[in-house]
């Protein structure tokens, strides 16, 4: 342990997350906000511990952390389907909401597991990126048809995660390909807005979905453009 005491920071985060998140669950009985509160309290401390520890895997085993994150994400998806605000009237929208919230909680532990756990990729990077893009687009379409922006939000997160995973294992699309991705996001976002107007329904979900579709490739480009310029 170095002088920054990352283990103590992690312990502080655990105490805060378990006490406040646990109290919220006991007081309200609502799993989703309680779990999200706990994750929001824990993750900054965990991030500090990972960054400042010489070997964080001695305290945070990579695969165990990834598994716990996946479990927490699955609980959020299940809670959205069972007790979500639209679980009875619009189950597809409820599922997409759960997938988005579950991704928010599960992806940071998954990223840690990828960075610190495996010496070789479990899924070939190109194949993982292609699958993430395809599934992300499917979620965007499902969200548009269900009238919710959570589909685009979940799809954008999934595509971004797939791109960063592929980059971690050596697949780095060129500058032109990444710019084309940004342009494609703008085109798809525009199509979503036009489709929302054509359906003569509430336009806000389509606009929010369009924003999510545009942001995902834009964020990926922003995260990779500086390092790519030196390759």
- Using the predicted structure, report yes or no on whether residue 231 has a pLDDT greater than 50: no
Average pLDDT, the chain: 85
Give residue for tokens 């929001």.
Answer: 40
DSSP code for 57: G
Query: 209 or 228, which is more confident?
Result: 209
Q: What is the mean pLDDT of residues 110-137?
A: 85
- Using the predicted structure, report yes or no on whether residue 210 has a pLDDT greater than 90: no
pTM: 0.84
Taking the CB of residue 65, how many other CB atoms lie within 10 A of it?
A: 23
**CA-CA distance, 154 to 215, in Å (whole number)?**
12
Q: What is the model's pLDDT at position 56?
A: 86
* Residue 125 near residue 93, CB atoms below 8 Å: no
Token duo for residue 88: 């009875």
* Residue 85 near residue 140, CB atoms below 8 Å: no
Least confident stretch, 5-14, 18-27, 60-69? 5-14
* Residue 143 near residue 91, CB atoms below 8 Å: no
Give me the DSSP letters along 157-221. Answer: HHHHHHHHHHHHTT----HHHHHHHHHHHHHHHHHHHHHHHHTTS-SHHHHHHHHHHHHHHHHHH
Residues 160-195 have pLDDT tens digits of: 899 888 888 887 777 788 888 888 888 888 888 887
Q: What is the model's pLDDT at position 15?
A: 92
* Residue 167 near residue 115, CB atoms below 8 Å: no
**CA-CA distance, 68 to 10, in Å (whole number)?**
16
- Using the predicted structure, report yes or no on whether residue 3 has a pLDDT greater than 60: no
Residues 40-50 have pLDDT tens digits of: 999 999 998 88
**CA-CA distance, 193 to 214, in Å (whole number)?**
12
* Residue 162 near residue 129, CB atoms below 8 Å: yes
Q: What is the model's pLDDT at position 230?
A: 44
The domain spans of the chain are: 1-119, 123-231
- Using the predicted structure, report yes or no on whether residue 10 has a pLDDT greater than 70: yes
Q: What is the model's pLDDT at position 4?
A: 58
Q: What is the mean pLDDT of residues 79-103?
A: 87
**CA-CA distance, 36 to 33, in Å (whole number)?**
5
- CA distance to 103, 171, 172, 185, 212, per residue, from 167 (Å): 19, 5, 5, 19, 21
* Residue 96 near residue 150, CB atoms below 8 Å: yes
Query: 198 or 8, which is more confident?
Result: 8
């Amino acid at each position: 342990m170095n002088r920054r005491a990352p283990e103590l920071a992690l312990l502080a985060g655990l105490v805060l997350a378990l006490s406040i998140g646990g109290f919220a669950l006991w007081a309200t009985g609502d799993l989703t906000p309680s779990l999200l509160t706990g994750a929001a309290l824990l993750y900054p401390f965990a991030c500090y511990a990972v960054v400042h520890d010489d070997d964080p895997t001695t305290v945070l085993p990579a695969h165990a952390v990834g598994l716990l994150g996946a479990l927490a994400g699955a609980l959020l998806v299940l809670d959205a389907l069972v007790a979500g605000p639209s679980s009875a009237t619009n189950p597809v929208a409820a599922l997409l909401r759960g997938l988005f919230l579950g991704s928010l909680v599960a992806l940071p532990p998954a990223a840690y597991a990828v960075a610190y756990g495996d010496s070789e990729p479990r899924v070939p990077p190109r194949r993982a990126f292609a699958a993430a893009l395809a599934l992300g687009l499917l979620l965007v379409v499902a969200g548009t048809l269900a009238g919710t922006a959570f589909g685009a939000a979940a799809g954008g997160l999934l595509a971004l995660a797939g791109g960063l995973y592929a980059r971690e294992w050596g697949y780095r699309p060129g500058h032109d390909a990444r710019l084309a991705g940004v342009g494609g996001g703008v085109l798809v976002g525009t199509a979503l807005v036009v489709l929302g107007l054509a359906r003569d329904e509430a336009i806000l979900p389509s606009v929010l979905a369009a924003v999510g579709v545009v942001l995902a490739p834009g964020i990926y480009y922003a995260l990779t453009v500086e390092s790519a310029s030196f390759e």
